[in-house]
Structures are given as structure tokens and as C-alpha cells.
């Protein structure tokens, strides 16, 4: 059983429209946390330093979870390295500096397991950071994450801040990004096999050899872990910050599957009965990314959601929620894009006072996936 989650003080969630951000908002609402702010890109473009500084400065936030990023899969990372590096460096540096100027007491930066060296010993411990080269196919994204981790450490050292990085493993679940070019492994598989079943395709070919291993974590477990850390008692939080040179904590699920096994799991859950082939001419990515979850376990936290249960139950629910071939957040009847009621504009509302501000385009940049 997990340790009790205490309420973080005056919480601000950035990246509230992304996979993890939506789960954070769901958990904040479920716990009735007071005065929570949740912003997506429609509310605040974090690449704009002046607006970011002003918004965070006036928010009154005491705890900030930075779950915003420009993200994508292997194809997007390979095609747009300038944007993945430049946009993310701007987001991270703007937010971290604004948090310092605003006197935010705790900052939880959401890193990525792709920041670990490609050939790190398995399971990957937090001490493996900066000990080797990252995977080339997502180097720009990983280097931006590493820069932010170093920036958090530097602020802690120079200014006495209390900024912590969490390193989730590959997340999946409701609110994922099903874009065919920008999705990560589980969402990509779901979209592929939903479409294949609908089209009656007898054969589906997945990228690479199918042999790389991925550790999977249901996104609601990841959100619970972030809020658990954000609400730790002062002494325990300080101990976590000082455990090693870099204030980093892994969030692992402990469930490891090969790419081809994930494809087979998704196909079975959806009811696709065609054949599955691999294409070794396409890149594999990192061969294995299993995180060492010992630090979180020592604090009393572990993932709650069994992978098999998701594949048997929740995955089917997720699949039925994908309108094909439209984007998954588009209403079939009206063909309008729906803005989540929980995403709030800077300085004006909190989760306890919702308003529907009408239709706005889905943010395709500032949401987080980890594949």
C-alpha cells in the first residue's frame, strides 16, 4: 500500500493538456486540493519569458509541477531537432527562473527516461545520469531535459531552492496523443490497430525489429507519484533532494515488455486478428529502458495499476474513445475541438471555479509523453 499523499500547498500545474498534465488535474480534483491552478499552452505560451515570469509571479503558487514540453516520437524527433531543443530549452529556463523569482517553494520538473545513457546498466539508477551518450534518435529532446536537470541542480546550489526532477518511465493512458507522426509506443500501437481492425487489414508492420524492451506505467500512477513527492513532509523532501549530486527520482512501473509484445497485447485487446510483421530497416531506438524504482519504494510508493488489467479492460475503453480517422479530441457530430473545462487562464481561476470558455485548438506541443 502506498504512503498517504498529503496536500501540496498552492499547486500550479503547467502542461495541463498533456497526458500527464490531465492525469495530475484529475487527481487534484479527486483529492479536492484547494486553490489549484492548471494551465496549458492556450492559457500561457511558456516560450515567452516575459509572460511566463508575470503569470507565475502573480499566481501565488508555492508548489509547481512542470509537465510541459514539446514532445513526439522517433519520426518527429529526427525531423525537427531544432524545435525540440530550442522550444524545450526556452520552456524550461523560463519556468525555472520565473519560479525562483516568484519564490516558489517546491518545483517538480518532469524529466524523461530518454535522458539516461543509451547503454546504461539495467535497471537504470538515478546515478547513471550524464554517464554516457544518449540515444541519437531523440538526442535534441534528451539534451534539453538534461540541461533542465542541471539548471535545477544549479539553482538549488546557488540560491537554496528546492527543485526536484522526476524521471517517469513510458507513460500511457487516457488523454494520450494519437497523432500518427508524434505519438509514443502505446498510443501509436493503439491507433495503428484500431485503424487496422476498422479497415480489415490482414497485415500490420511495426517499425524496427520489435526486440527493444519498454517499461510501461499507467499515467494515473505517474500523476499520483508526482503529487506524492510534491506533498512530502519537509524533512523527507529535503532528504530526497540530497540523496545524490542531481536531485532526481525515478518513477518506474516495473512492467517490461518488448515492442512486439506490446503490439500483440494491443492487437488482442482491440480484437485485431491479422498478422503482425516487423521492419528492421526502421530505427529501434534505445534497446532497453528499465528504471530502478528503489528510491520511490523506500519512500513508500509503488504503482497501483497492473499492466494486464489495463490490457484486458481499460485499454479497450481507451480504444473505443478514438474517433477514426479524426483527432481523438474532436467531437464526431459537431466536428469542433473541445477545450477541457479544467484548463484555466493565468491569474483568474482555480479548479474550484470552472467556466467553459468555448472551443480552442488542442495544444500539440506542450504535453508530455515518454516512450
In a domain, residue 2? The reply is no
Q: Distance from CA of residue 133 to its chain's centroid?
A: 22
Give residue 226's pLDDT band: very low, low, confident or very high (50, 70, 90): very high
The yes-or-no verdict on residue 326 having pLDDT over 50 is no
In a domain, residue 39? The reply is yes
Using a pLDDT cut of 90, give the percent of the chain over it.
65
CA distance 338 to 188: 22
CA distance 369 to 237: 25
Q: Is the peptide bond before 325 cis (omega within 30 degrees of 0)?
A: yes
Q: What is the pLDDT of residue 330?
A: 34
The yes-or-no verdict on residue 353 having pLDDT over 60 is no
174 CB burial (10 A radius; 0-12, 13-18, 19+): middle
Instruction: Choose between 3 and 235: higher pLDDT.
Output: 235
* CB count in 10 Å sphere of residue 162: 18
126: phi then psi, degrees, rounded to nearest 5: -60, -30
CA distance 371 to 369: 6
Mean pLDDT in residue range 24-29: 95
Q: What is the pLDDT of residue 141?
A: 96
Which segment of 82-96, 138-152, 293-307, 328-342 scores lowest on mean pLDDT? 328-342
Mean pLDDT in residue range 322-333: 38
Q: pLDDT by residue (tens digit) across 156-191? A: 999 999 999 999 999 988 888 888 777 888 888 999
The yes-or-no verdict on residue 314 having pLDDT over 60 is no
The x, y and z cell numbers of residue 339, run together, are 477545450
The number of domains in the chain is: 1
In a domain, residue 16? The reply is yes
Give residue 320's pLDDT band: very low, low, confident or very high (50, 70, 90): low
Q: What is the pLDDT of residue 350?
A: 52
Residue 38's domain comprises 11-175+216-254+289-304
In a domain, residue 266? The reply is no
Q: Which of 335, 282, 350 lies closest to 13, judged by CA?
A: 350
119 CB burial (10 A radius; 0-12, 13-18, 19+): middle
* Cβ proximity of 85 and 140 under 8 Å: yes
Give residue 29's pLDDT band: very low, low, confident or very high (50, 70, 90): very high
CA distance 173 to 175: 6
CA distance 105 to 110: 16
The yes-or-no verdict on residue 224 having pLDDT over 80 is yes
Element (DSSP H or E) covering residue 107: strand 106-110
The yes-or-no verdict on residue 237 having pLDDT over 80 is yes
Q: Pairing state of beta strands 255-258 and 213-218?
A: antiparallel
* Cβ proximity of 71 and 367 under 8 Å: yes
Distances (CA, A) of 137 to 46, 69, 77, 282, 370: 25, 17, 7, 11, 14
Q: What is the pLDDT of residue 322?
A: 54
DSSP-assigned states of every residue in 237-302: HHHHHTSSSS-EEEE---EEEEHHHHHHHHHHHHT--SEEEEETTS----SEE-B--HHHHHHT--
Q: What is the pLDDT of residue 175?
A: 87
In a domain, residue 297? The reply is yes
In a domain, residue 149? The reply is yes
For the packed helices 49-59 and 81-102, what is the interaxial angle rounded to 10 degrees?
40
For the packed helices 139-159 and 81-102, what is the interaxial angle rounded to 10 degrees?
20
In a domain, residue 351? The reply is no
∠ CA 35-10-152, rounded to 5° = 145
Q: What is the pLDDT of residue 280?
A: 96
- Mean confidence (pLDDT) of the chain: 84
Q: Which of 218, 273, 238 lies closest to 156, judged by CA?
A: 238
In a domain, residue 281? The reply is no
- Exposure string for 248-262, b = 16+ CB within 10 A, e = fewer: bbbbbbbbbbebbeb
Q: Which of 142, 136, 77 lies closest to 114, judged by CA?
A: 142
Identify the CATH number of the domain in which residue 155 sits: 3.40.50.720
Amino acid at each position: 500500500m502506498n504512503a498517504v499523499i498529503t496536500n501540496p500547498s498552492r499547486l500550479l500545474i503547467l502542461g495541463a493538456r498533456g497526458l500527464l498534465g490531465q492525469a495530475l488535474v484529475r487527481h487534484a480534483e479527486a483529492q479536492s486540493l484547494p486553490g489549484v491552478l492548471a494551465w496549458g499552452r492556450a492559457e500561457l505560451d511558456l516560450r515567452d519569458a516575459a509572460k511566463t515570469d508575470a503569470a507565475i509571479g502573480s499566481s501565488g503558487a508555492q508548489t509547481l509541477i512542470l509537465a510541459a514540453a514539446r514532445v513526439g516520437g522517433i519520426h518527429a524527433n529526427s525531423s525537427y531537432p531544432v524545435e525540440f531543443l530550442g522550444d524545450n530549452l526556452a520552456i524550461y529556463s523560463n519556468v525555472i527562473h520565473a519560479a525562483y523569482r516568484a519564490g516558489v517553494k517546491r518545483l517538480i520538473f518532469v524529466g524523461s527516461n530518454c535522458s539516461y545513457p543509451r547503454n546504461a546498466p539495467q535497471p537504470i539508477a538515478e546515478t547513471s545520469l550524464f554517464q554516457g551518450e544518449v540515444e541519437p534518435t531523440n538526442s535534441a529532446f534528451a539534451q534539453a531535459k538534461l540541461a533542465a536537470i542541471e539548471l535545477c541542480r544549479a539553482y538549488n546550489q546557488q540560491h537554496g531552492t528546492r527543485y526536484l526532477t522526476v524521471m517517469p518511465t513510458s507513460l500511457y493512458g487516457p488523454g494520450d496523443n494519437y497523432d500518427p507522426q508524434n505519438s509514443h509506443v502505446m498510443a501509436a500501437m493503439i491507433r495503428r490497430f484500431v485503424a487496422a481492425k476498422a479497415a480489415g487489414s490482414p497485415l500490420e508492420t511495426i517499425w524496427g525489429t520489435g526486440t527493444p524492451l519498454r517499461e510501461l506505467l499507467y499515467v494515473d500512477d505517474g500523476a499520483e507519484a508526482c503529487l506524492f513527492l510534491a506533498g512530502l513532509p519537509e524533512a523527507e523532501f529535503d532528504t530526497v533532494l540530497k540523496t545524490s549530486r542531481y536531485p532526481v527520482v525515478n518513477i518506474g512501473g516495473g512492467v517490461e515488455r518488448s515492442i512486439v509484445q506490446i503490439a500483440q497485447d494491443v492487437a488482442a485487446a482491440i480484437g485485431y486478428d491479422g498478422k503482425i510483421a516487423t521492419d528492421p530497416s526502421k530505427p529501434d531506438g534505445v534497446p532497453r529502458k528499465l528504471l530502478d524504482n528503489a528510491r520511490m519504494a523506500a519512500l513508500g510508493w509503488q504503482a497501483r495499476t497492473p499492466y494486464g488489467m489495463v490490457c484486458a479492460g481499460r485499454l479497450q475503453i481507451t480504444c473505443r474513445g478514438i474517433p477514426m480517422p479524426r483527432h481523438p479530441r474532436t467531437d464526431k457530430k459537431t466536428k469542433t475541438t473541445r477545450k477541457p473545462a479544467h484548463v484555466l487562464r493565468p491569474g483568474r481561476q482555480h479548479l474550484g471555479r470552472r467556466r467553459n470558455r468555448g472551443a480552442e485548438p488542442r495544444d500539440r506541443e506542450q504535453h508530455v509523453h515518454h516512450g
